[in-house]
Structure 1
C-alpha cells in the first residue's frame, strides 16, 4: 500500500502531519515532513483547529522544558468497518494522538483527538492511550509513570480557527483601528511608567 496525492484530491480530508513541519530544525527536514509517510487523513476541522492547538501546546512545552520526547500516531476503531480514502484505499483514522514524556518533570501524558467534523481532544494517561490504540509509545518507562498524567499544557487555540471564527473579521478590523491602537499605546505607556 502506498499513499499518493491523488488519494487526497477531492476527498474532503486534509493531509494531517504527524510530525509538524514547524518542529523541524531546518528547511530540508521541513520539506521531508510533507512526505506522505508522515501524513494521515484528517478532517479539516481537526487538522486546522484542535490538532494545531495540540501541536502548539506541545511545542510550547518543549520550549519551556528544553526537551520532551513526543510520539505521534493514528488510531483505528477495530469494531467498525475501516473507512478508506482514494484509489489507494488509505485508511482513515478514528483518532490521532500525541504521547509526551517529560524527563525533567518527570512525567507522561497524551492528547487524544477524535478525527471527526466536530473534533474533541482530551488529555489522558499513556497507560490509557496504550489500551486504546494497542501501541506503547514508551515501552522502556516504568508502568507507574505511564499510569499518571503529568501537568500538561492545555490545548491552545489554533490561529487558523481564531481567524476563521464567525465575527472575527469585524473584531480584527476594530483592533486595527487608529483609536484602539492609540488606546493600546497609552495603556502600555502607563504600565511602563508604573514600574
Structure 2
C-alpha cells in the first residue's frame, strides 16, 4: 500500500543548508571516501538519527528518519569492475540487523508497494560474492520507480563502471533527495526519494560531476557540478575537493550510450548448471547468515 503524507516542514528542512555535520563513517572506512573524508551533511534534520555502516566494498549513511540510506560511497577501480563482471547476480534482500528495529526498513514494507527495491551501491559493482550479498541489505535500498530503476538508472550505473574501467579509478557517491511540499511513504514509514544522484570523482584528473534524475518514469536526467549538488541535496559528497573541481561538472558518459552498447553485447543464456550453482550458493549463504544470526 502506498501512502502519501504531507510533510512540508520536514522536506523543506531537508533541502535547506543550515548546519555542517560530518558523518562518523569517516572513522571506520576512510578508504572508500575521496581524500579519506566522508560526505558532509549540511542540514540538521537530514543528520538526525543517522548511523554509518561499513561493508566490504561500500559504506552507507543510514537515516532512522527516512528508514533508507542517505548515501552510499564506493571506490571503483579497473580491477574491481573486472572482478564484478564475473560474479553472477543472486538476489538475497535482507533486513539490516545492525540497525534498531524502530529505525530500519523490513522486507514486508516493500511488498506490493509499487516500487522496486533500488540499490544505492549497485550489486553490479560488487567484486565478490560476499560483497554482492551485502549489497542486498535494506540499509542500501530505497523505494525506486520501476521504470527508472530498470532503465535510465541501470544505464547510469553501467556507464559509471565503464568510465572507471577506462580511467582506472573513480570515487562514487550515490544518494537521495527529498524535495517539495509533500513526500510519499510506503509501509513502515519508509520515505520515497523524489530524486536520486550519482556523483563521480576522478582523482587522477581532478574532475568531478554528478548525474541527477527524478524518481519517476520520465527518463529525465541532468549533469550538475558538486557545488550545485550540495545546494540541491544538502550533502557535500566530496568535501576534500578544491573549489575549481567543485564549480564545474565533468563530461559524464551519456547513459543512452551504455544502453546502445548493451543491445549489441552477446548475451549468455543460463544453463541448468548455472541455475543449480546459483541455487546452491544461495542456500549456503542463507544457512551461514542464519547460523551467524543465531550465534550473535
Q: TM-score scaled by structure 1? A: 0.78
- 1:1-195 paired onto structure 2 within 5 Å: 1-77=103-179, 79-86=180-187, 88-156=188-256, 157-158=258-259
Larger radius of gyration: 1
Q: Return the alpha-carbon distance in structure 2 between the equivalents of residues 119 and 151 of structure 1.
A: 19
Deviations 1:126-151 (A, max 9, x none): 11111100100001111221111112
Give 5+ residue unaligned stretches, structure 1: 163-195
Superposition CA RMSD, Å: 1.6
Q: C-alpha separation between the residues in 1 aligned to 2:219 and 2:115?
A: 13
SS in 2 for 1:108: strand
Paired residues, number: 159
3-state SS of paired residue (1:46): helix
1: distance between equivalents of 2:213 and 2:259?
14
Whole-angstrom CA distance in 1 between matches of 2:138 and 2:254: 29
- Output the CA distance in 1 between the equivalents of 2:140 and 2:182: 24
Whether the 8 Å CA contact 1:48–1:158 is kept in 2: the answer is no
Question: What TM-score, normalized by structure 2, do the two folds share?
Answer: 0.52
Partner Cα distance (1:158, 1:43) in 2: 18
Structure 1 residue 158: Cα displacement: 4.3
Name the CA distance, whole Å, in 2 between partners of 1:80 and 1:116: 17
Q: 1:119 deviation in Å?
A: 3.3
Runs (5+) with no aligned partner, structure 2? 1-102, 264-296
Cα distance in 2 for residues equivalent to 1:21 and 1:96:
17
- Distance, in Å, in 2 between the alignment partners of 1:2 and 1:134 is 22
Report the Cα distance in structure 1 between the residues aligned to 2:193 and 2:184, rounded to whole angstroms.
8
- The list of structure 1 runs, each at least 4 consecutive aligned residues, that deviate by more than 2 angstroms after superposition, is 156-159
Q: Deviations over 1:24-81 (max 9, x none)?
A: 110000011010000100000110010001101100000101100000111100x322
**Aligned-partner SS, 1:83:** strand
